[in-house]
Amino acid sequence: MAGKREDYITWDEYFMGVAALSARRSKDPSTQVGACIVSQDNKILSMGYNGFPMGCSDDEFPWDKEDEQADPYNAKYFYSTHSELNAILNYRGGSLEGSKLYVTLFPCNECAKAIIQAGIKTIVYGSDKYDGTPAVNASKRMLNAAGVRYYQYQPTGRKIEIEV
Ligand SMILES: O=c1ccn([C@H]2C[C@H](O)[C@@H](COP(=O)(O)O)O2)c(=O)[nH]1
Ligand SMILES: [Zn+2]
């Protein structure tokens, strides 16, 4: 009798992989972020990626970031909905209390507020490239105060290729 496969992916690889795949839908030329919300018993509840709200055309609204200081009206930041918020808002099933968020970039302060208020209790993040910025410092301050646990995803080194 054949034994079970042993090289199957872990839960963290699976859900971070889903978050990374979700990020591939983002039209942001600079930073693509993906998120996946999972229940305590490892069921996927929702997903999201950074992009403009419904009705705000990816071809008409600005993707520039250089203009942020000079002309914020023509930079992406006023318009882009963050992946974590999209994942929270995309959920149609009721409560996210006690759930876990996988996200490819450490959440900003605005996302931290939504995460806390939604009842998400754990964050597994990929990149922390904005660590030390005021937005991420404030985010960590709020997450720590609210008792939301977070840890960085530890890659296994296994390459996951998807061919469809
Ligand atoms: O918590 C976060 C923080 C940022 N994002 C999105 C918002 C933007 O579309 C990009 C950041 O663009 P930069 O050019 O790197 O400033 O990431 C997010 O989804 N969640
Ligand atoms: Zn954010």
Ligand 1 center to 33 CA (angstroms): 7
Respond yes or no on whether ipTM tops 0.85. yes
Q: Whose CA is nearest to atom 5 of ligand 1?
A: 82
Q: In the structure encoding, which two tokens stand for residue 24, read together?
A: 């591939």
pTM (predicted TM-score):
0.96
Instruction: Work out the angle between the directed axes of helices 109-118 and 134-146 (0-180°, nearest 10).
Output: 20
Q: How far is CA 29 from CA 49, 59, 67, 129, in A?
A: 13, 12, 15, 16
What ligand has the least distance to the C-alpha of 19?
1
Pocket lining: 65 vs ligand 1, CB cutoff 6 Å: yes
> Model confidence over 31-87: pLDDT tens digits?
999 999 999 999 999 999 999 999 999 999 999 997 666 899 999 999 999 999 999
